[in-house]
Structures are given as structure tokens and as C-alpha cells.
Structure 1
Amino acid sequence: MKRTYIFLLVIIILGCSDHISQNNFSLTLNITGELEQKIYLSKRDAGKWVNIDSSSVVTGEIVLNGQIKDPEMFYLRSGQNLTNIFIEAGKITFTAHADSINKGITNGSKTQAELDSFNESISLITEQLDTLYNQYREAVKNDDQVKIENLSELIDTKDNERLARTIDYAYANNKSIVSAYLIMTNNYYLELAELDTITSNFDNSIKQTKYVELLLDRISNLYKVSIGSSFTDFTLNDTTGNPIALSSLIGENYLLIDFWASWCGPCRRENPNIVAVYNDYNSKGFDIIGVSLDTDKNNWIKAIEKDSLTWSHVSDLQGWNSAAGKLYAVNAIPHSVILNENGTIVAKNLRGEELRDKIAELLN
């Protein structure tokens, strides 16, 4: 009986050990030249870096280790040098020059190989978008409004093409973690119904992996703040430190919740339009509360003053970890929500003439 007990105990220990080893990964870097700083293997969690392993060795062979359940996107960071790698259990190698780790070659990760293959299939679109974005930045620099408008349309068309290819890939490869990752990183381009449909199409075999779980959480949050839903209250401090509850502004006017930040170029470019709409309709029953995703209070206040934003402003100065931003499923800015007098969401993410037309319609 004692021998049987010991035998079973050994089997259990070996089983546990085997399970642990199956989740281990070893990433061997082969670096030509010399890195300027220590290298980190990290991942992102709630908008922050989480370091998994690191090395002070800056040249030659560098070995980084860790444990992982399912394939996941990790990042190699050394100073300003940054690249991403899909890590999975097993032995992986990464070869690069110290000056350009973003151009490194990965072997041993099937997930990374799959992602590389997809990226290669849309490389022409990516190159065209890079060219258009460079032209757009130059047009903004020169304040060429006609060119800015034309390039914006071209960028939207090309980006829609890229997104369509991504969606097609996800439908055709519904057992792939890479598909779930691609949809997760593009979810802010998708309408709620479409995002729900794509996510529901993923095979049960990946339903409990990180990126599908993130998508399901995102969808749940989006339904809570979809058009027709009641507002979710929050309380944040204004620029002087006084708390303002969203509920205190509801009852008489239509209310625009404007999520923005001083560092957000598209937000700042949209501000003159919002100011004009506010000036025209504030006395007729329209109000605004600005929710900043800034982290620097001085920059936030300076932007309010420079852009002449005379309505209420609040922030917890937590950037992408903004409590209000999370409640309203904000993962890109500018982002806006319009509430009626009863606190019901009646519109979202309207800009330019669409915003003006909607406010005019609501107050007519």
C-alpha cells in the first residue's frame, strides 16, 4: 500500500512538472552590434508595461525566459528600440541588429509566422497608407486644408480596404488566436453589431484565450453604453479640484460628453467646431462636459484656455486608465456621447457638420 501511494505521488509530481514545462518558453536573442541599454521582455496590461524578464547583456546571445498559457503578444524594449513578438510555449529565436530590432527575424513561433504571413498579404495596402499618412502630416504642417480633406478621404478608403481584409481573415480562420488579436487591435473601427458577430464566430477552442476574452468584455461594455441605453454616472474633479458628478448636469439640456486630451491632434482640430456648436446652441438647451485623458494637469489647463473651451471640464489625470473612459468603453479619441434630458444616450461619435446637424435636429 505504501509503495502504491509513493508511486501515485511520483506520477502526480511528474504530471505537474510536465504541465509546467509545457507552459515554459525560452526566447534566445542573437544581437549583432551592441544595444545602448538593458533589454526587457514585456507585455501590456491595462495600458502599462509589465516586465517578464530582462538582461543586462547587450550583444551576442541573450536568453529570456517565462511562462505562458496561450500565445500572446510580447514586446522587446531597449531604450527607444521596440518590436513586438508573438510568444508561445517552446524555444524561440530572434535575430536582429542592435540598431534596428524592429526589423528582426523570429523563428520557432508559429503564431508569429502566421501574423507575418497575414501582414505580408496586406503589405501593399500598408505601404500605400504609410505614404498617404506622410503626405497628410506634410499637408497639416503647411495648413493646406484642401489637401488635408482629399488625403483624409483617400486614407479612409484605403484603411477600409485594410479592415475588410482583416475581417475576412478572421472569418476564414476562426480557430486562430492571431485572428482574435487582429480583431482586438482593430475593434474601435467596428460597429458594435459587427464586432459581436465576428467575435461570436470564433471557435470554442479559443473562446477562453486572452484576446477573445478582451473582445467579449469590450462588447459587454459597449452594450452598456449603446444608443438607447441610460447613462452611467461618474464623478471626477474639475481643474480646480472640485468634484462634478455627470448626473448633476442631466435634467434640462442635451449634454455632450466629450472625451479628449491636450496631446490628441484630431481632438484639438475638432475643438473649433465644438466651440462653434456650443456658442450657437448653448442658450437653446445644449451643454458639454469635457473629460480629459491627460496625465499632465498643466497641459490640460493650457489646452482648455488656448482652445477657448468654456464649458465644464473634468479629469482624473490617469490617461487611458481614466475611470470615466473605461465606463464609456473609450479606446480612441476624440470620442463623444450625447445624452437627452433624461440621461438616455441618443448619439455617439459625431463630428463636424454631423454634430451640428444632430444638435439642430434634437433642439428643433
Structure 2
Amino acid sequence: MIRKLFALTFCMGSVAAYAQQQDVAIITAKLDKSPNDTLVNLYEPYSGDTATAVIKNHQFKMTMPIAKGGSVYIMQIGSNPELGGTLVYLEKGKMNITGKGGYFKDATFSGDAWVKEWQEVMNLTAPDAGDGKALADLEQKYRKAMEVGDEDAAEEYNKQGAILQKKQKDVLGKWMQEHRNSGVTGYVMTIYFNTQREMDSLYAGLGEHAKASRILQRWKNPGKVDPSIVNVKVGAEGEAPGTPGSVKIGGPAPAFSIPDMDGKMVSLADFKGKYVFVDFWASWCGPCKPQIPFLKAANDKFKNSNFVMLGISLDSKKEAWVKAVAKHELNWLNLSSLKGWGDATASAYGASYIPFNVLIGPDGNIVARNLYGEEVDKKLSELMPQAALTAIPQK
């Protein structure tokens, strides 16, 4: 039950409100009890683009340049993100916010078509009502069970959660089919559909306006639309330190040195000249478990060849990590810094969700990433055909 969330933190900066630009989003708001003389920040967490306004007479207005297409922003009244923060999707056009309270809770958002579309998606995924609330409750139970090492109870919560997640994805998939040209589809696709196969299939069915969103352009052209991902947090244990990196196929694999279960340091350099499959996972990660049989099969098939598999756990508690390795019989080299999402290697590789994996070639460069299910064996067999042949039992 892993869901990617924006961390409600703000790097203060200034971006002028270029009202004369053609591609801008104009936001007006009247919140009857909003605190006067309070700063309002509008912040794009991937790029750092920021606009500000000051509340006067319980109203504010701000303009954000949207030259690169639609994206999701954090809007914050004051300094308390729990009280005054909300996520909004913006593209060229107008949004109006009205409410009887002081902040965005229970406020009404109106304006251009994309405002309505964003509100529809927020209602479908709300964590305080319906299936969203049930999923959030299960996630809390799951984490508490894992904290005390009750993996059987956690497994049951995870099964129930998987059913709700599947239902949610089906609903969102239907919404995307009905809104093929909405810029909001970029948010839905990149947040709720993680595998490359799912995302490629969904992207192929979208209209040109949807594909032109900043979200999908950033996904399609990593590092070109925006230089890096800033302040992204993935719900679980710990927080990533600083700005995560991003590995590219064909580029060099970042070096690392991480302790194994006995405290012995293991480095990527130890396996120079081999194919190295690095799997980022955690004991509390429900979606990681369906991947285990495919990893076992691949490891058994290629372990006697020019190949090694490494599991890097994003656990923060050693007991839970050790128990999970034993229970699932993960018979490859298992490593962990026990820093959760604060693991420096996960940050260096851009592992902002799990399961996440990379395949490193004998030359130290990235060969593939995000191989799931049968894709693992397929890719390894393609790269090491002779090893695959000798692993097949002879009749």
C-alpha cells in the first residue's frame, strides 16, 4: 500500500507574476475567515517554481506562468501545512476558490474545465471518505502490525488493501478513458500506475493536450523539462535526504557501500565485471511481495553465471527486515542501512517508490530498470543467452 505523496515543505523563493504572459494560470480566492496579512505560497515541487500573494480583506489573487504545460502545485496559507495546505492542478486559464472557513477545507473550486476534472479526481481518491478512508485505515493497521512483527496480520491487511487498490485503479482507469485529453490524466497515470507497461499503454491512448502536460513531458523526457525532482516523499519509514538522483539507461551506476545482516560492508565495486540486479524493497512493502517468486526464479537460473542479485531494504528496524528475509526465503545478498527512505543509495538511484530495481551491466552502466514479473527473466535471458540455455534441464 505504497502511495507517492508530495511533502508539504516550502523552499522560499520568488517568481514574478507575469500577467502579461499568454500561458498563465490566474487564481482568485475569497475565504471568509482567512487570516489577513498572511502569505500564500504556490509551489511546484518538482521544479521549485513559486508565486506568492498576501491575504487582504480575506481575499487573494495570484498568477503563475504555465509555459511548460499543466502540473500539480502545492498551495499553502501560512506556515502550517496540515492546516493551510492543499494540492491543486493548474494549467492555462482561471481558478476561483470560495469558502466560509479560513483555509481550503470545504472550500469550493470553480473555473475552467481542468478545475472540475481535478476536483473529480480528488473526490475519487479522498483519504477521508469511502474506499479511500478504508484504504488509509488499512495502511495504518498494516504499519502497526509490522512494527510489532505480526507479519501474518500485516499480510491479511495487505490482501484487503490490494483489493481496494485494484478497485481504485479500475475507477481511475475508467476516468482516464473518459478524459483522454485532460491534463489531469498525467497526475493519475504517474501516481497510481507504476509499471512501465501500464504507463506506456495508458500514454498511447491519450490526446495531444494531455501528452503536452508538464507532468507527462517530465515523465517522457526525464531531466529535460525540469532538472530534477525536488522534495518528494514516499509514504513509509523515514524521509529521503535532499534531492533524489535519477539513473538513466546507458549511464553509470552510482557507487554504494551498504552493510549486510552481519554488519559487513558490501560495495557495488565488489562485483565489477558482473551483471548486478539491485532490488529496492522493504518488509512493510505489500506490492513488493508478488515480485518475489520472479526474483527467486531469476536468481536460481542465473546465480552460477556472471550474475549477482542484491536486495537493498528500506527498512528502519532490523528485526522486521531479518524476519521478512527469513520468511520469504530471499536467498540472495541482502543489504540495508536501516535508514528507511533516508537511505542514500535509494536517493542516488531515484528510488522514489518500491518495488524499484535496476540492472547494472559488467561495465558498470545501467542496462535496464523497473523490470517486473516475467520481464526479469526475459531481460536476463536476452543479455546472457548461453547462461539461460545451460540453466534449462536437458531431457
Query: Into which bin does the TM-score normalised by the smaller protein fall?
Result: 0.5 to 0.7
SS at match of 1:234: coil
Q: Does 1:165 align with 2:168?
A: no
Letter in 2 for 1:53: T
Would the alpha carbon gap of residues 54 and 134 (structure 1) be closer, same or farther in structure 2, given more than 3 Å must change? Answer: same
1:41 equivalent in structure 2: 42
1:210 equivalent in structure 2: 214
What are the equivalent positions in structure 2 for 1:278-297 lying under 5 Å apart?
A: 286=308, 288=310, 290=312
Give the superposition deviation at 1:23: 3.0
Give the superposition deviation at 1:238: 4.0
Letter in 1 for 2:72: M
What is the RMSD computed on CA atoms of the aligned residues?
5.0
1:182 equivalent in structure 2: 188
SS at match of 2:188: helix
SS at match of 2:255: strand
SS at match of 1:150: helix
Deviation track 1:282-329 (CA, whole Å, cap 9, x = no partner) reads x9774537598xxxxxxx9x978996898597x9x897994432xxxx
Greater displacement, 19-28 / 77-86: 19-28
1:50 equivalent in structure 2: 49
2:86 and 2:38 map into 1 onto residues whose CA distance is 15
Give the superposition deviation at 1:109: 4.0
Q: Is the 8 A contact 2:258 2:267 kept in 1?
A: no
SS at match of 2:86: strand
Higher helix share: 1
Q: Is the 8 A contact 2:75 2:87 kept in 1?
A: yes
Q: Does 1:194 align with 2:198?
A: yes
Letter in 2 for 1:72: S
2:384 equivalent in structure 1: none
Using structure 2 for the length normalisation, give the TM-score. Answer: 0.57
Q: Does 1:74 align with 2:95?
A: no
Q: Is the 8 A contact 1:238 1:312 kept in 2?
A: no
Letter in 2 for 1:202: L
Q: Is the 8 A contact 1:260 1:291 kept in 2?
A: yes
Structure 1 or 2, whichever has the larger Rg, is: 1
SS at match of 1:134: helix
Give the superposition deviation at 1:94: 1.8
Q: Is the 8 A contact 1:41 1:76 kept in 2?
A: yes
SS at match of 2:97: strand
2:137 and 2:277 map into 1 onto residues whose CA distance is 35
Deviation track 1:209-241 (CA, whole Å, cap 9, x = no partner) reads 2123134236x9x9975xxxxx7432435479x
1:126 equivalent in structure 2: 132
Q: Is the 8 A contact 1:235 1:245 kept in 2?
A: no
Would the alpha carbon gap of residues 237 and 195 (structure 1) be closer, same or farther in structure 2, given more than 3 Å must change? Answer: closer
Q: How many residues align?
A: 299
Q: Is the 8 A contact 1:288 1:312 kept in 2?
A: no
1:318 and 1:312 map into 2 onto residues whose CA distance is 8
2:137 and 2:66 map into 1 onto residues whose CA distance is 37
1:356 equivalent in structure 2: none
Would the alpha carbon gap of residues 318 and 104 (structure 1) be closer, same or farther in structure 2, given more than 3 Å must change? Answer: farther
1:11 equivalent in structure 2: none
Gaps of 5+ in 1: 1-16, 226-230, 293-299, 351-360
Would the alpha carbon gap of residues 205 and 92 (structure 1) be closer, same or farther in structure 2, given more than 3 Å must change? Answer: closer
SS at match of 1:32: coil
Give the superposition deviation at 1:155: 0.5
Candidates 112, 117, 122, aligned match of 2:120: 117
Q: Percent identity?
A: 13
Q: Does 1:86 align with 2:124?
A: no
1:167 and 1:306 map into 2 onto residues whose CA distance is 35
Give the superposition deviation at 1:114: 1.5
1:251 equivalent in structure 2: 273
SS at match of 1:166: helix
Letter in 1 for 2:310: I
Q: Does 1:236 align with 2:255?
A: yes
Would the alpha carbon gap of residues 99 and 28 (structure 1) be closer, same or farther in structure 2, given more than 3 Å must change? Answer: closer
Using structure 1 for the length normalisation, give the TM-score. Answer: 0.61
Give the superposition deviation at 1:332: 0.6
SS at match of 1:20: coil
Gaps of 5+ in 2: 1-17, 225-245, 260-265, 323-332, 374-386
Would the alpha carbon gap of residues 36 and 287 (structure 1) be closer, same or farther in structure 2, given more than 3 Å must change? Answer: farther
Letter in 1 for 2:349: A
SS at match of 1:236: coil
Q: Is the 8 A contact 2:312 2:334 kept in 1?
A: no
2:11 equivalent in structure 1: none
Letter in 2 for 1:333: I
1:25 equivalent in structure 2: 26
1:32 and 1:84 map into 2 onto residues whose CA distance is 20
Q: Does 1:64 align with 2:62?
A: yes
Give the superposition deviation at 1:337: 3.7
Q: Is the 8 A contact 2:256 2:345 kept in 1?
A: no
Would the alpha carbon gap of residues 35 and 20 (structure 1) be closer, same or farther in structure 2, given more than 3 Å must change? Answer: closer
